Amino acid sequence: GAVVSQHPSWVICKSGTSVKIECRSLDFQATTMFWYRQFPKQSLMLMATSNEGSKATYEQGVEKDKFLINHASLTLSTLTVTSAHPEDSSFYICSAWGYNYGYTFGSGTRLTVV
């Protein structure tokens, strides 16, 4: 089946630094990549949608200058959290969509900002 590899699984960073999260579709072409964040005991909240080669579309309330998304190829998308602060601590999950594959979720990244 379709696999999306998400790295790192967890990361601890100091306040003010940047963190990059990578999602790679291993055996299919991801036409669209979705990035979600999930706070404890809550549902998934869509942050942004990106299509290969295009600028990401951000949901209302999500700062595009803080959460930089790059979808440079059909198999790779990255989310960079810039100048991270403790309130950015969360579980980030990517989801790749491809024709004939539907939605495939990455394994998630636990970000802790100290």
Residue from 69, 74, 93, 113 binding another protein (CB under 8 A):
93
Q: Does 8 bind another protein (CB under 8 A)?
A: no
Say if CB 103 and CB 30 are below 8 A apart: no
User: DSSP string covering 14-56, please?
Assistant: -TT--EEEEEEESSS--SEEEEEEE-TTS-EEEEEEEETTS--
Q: Does 97 bind another protein (CB under 8 A)?
A: yes
Residue from 16, 54, 63, 103 binding another protein (CB under 8 A):
103
Q: Return the ∠ at Cα 12 (arms to 84 and 53), rounded to 5°.
A: 55
Specify the stretch interacting with another protein by CB under 8 A; choose among 16-24, 65-73, 79-87, 90-98. 90-98
Q: 8 by DSSP, 3-state: which?
A: coil
Task: List residues near another protein by CB under 8 A.
Answer: 6, 31-32, 34, 41-44, 46, 49, 93, 95, 97, 102-103, 105-108, 110
